[in-house]
Amino acid sequence: SMHSWVNREALAPRADRLAHSCSYLDLPREWLGGDFIAEAELLKQTNPRAYRHVYLGEITGSDRQVFDNLRIGPISQEEIDQCDRTLCGLDFGFAADPDAFIRAHHDPRTGRITVLDEFCAVRTPVETLCAEVARRCGGAVVRCDSAEPRMIRELRERGVQALGAKKGPGSVQHGLRWLQERSEICIDPARCPNAAREFAGYEYPDDGNGGIVPEAPDRDNHLIDA
């Protein structure tokens, strides 16, 4: 599970960290023996997901993961330069919840979403929030949580094209389903660490009996809401 502490730690960018990856494929076959190779090949054919997890060390997720279409990893500047359709969202914080701004690119042809920038902070002064959003949105329309019309007005007065998002019954679940149906959601953890952590760690809750509650939790989802 990406929610595991060691995987969350791996997503946190640090300049002094050396990351090394290897698998049995990097070793001489004679070190492993025929039985080991045969078992690996059999699992590869019968259960590819288990094979990728057990033998390649990939984070394949659990049955509880809300988004199984994530690509968490470096995004080159060349890829970013090709993102010409910018969409921005802002979820306002309350009490201990952070204000969360996200800027992304959606390619309707491929169904790929590329997260380009984020801002996430608790108890942000109005002036600071407006300045951060204005600096990051690049003049694009910012669709905001419509429950805060005063904050939307503050953003407009400071030159941000802020609009309240239309909401209705089931709109949250509809939005999650739309995200799940994209071909990929690409996030660079060095550029957007909060989005990488939030999307990767978003899981359906356990029902207490070994099953899954098929409804996404309303917590730790601020940038997802944005």
Lowest mean pLDDT among 60-64, 69-73, 123-127: 60-64
Q: What was the pLDDT predicted at 3? A: 67
First and final C-alpha spacing in the chain: 24
> What percentage of the chain reaches a pLDDT higher than 70?
97
Report whether pLDDT(89) > 80: yes
Entry pTM: 0.77
Lowest mean pLDDT among 71-80, 152-161, 162-171, 208-217: 208-217
Please write the tens of the pLDDT for every residue from 20-54: 888 999 999 999 999 999 999 999 999 888 898 89
For residues 6-33, one letter each, b for 16 or more C-beta atoms within 10 angstroms of the residue's C-beta and e for the rest, the string is: eeeeebeeeeeeeeeeeeeeeeeeeeee
Q: What was the pLDDT predicted at 60? A: 77
- The answer to whether the beta carbons of residues 52 and 59 sit under 8 Å apart is no
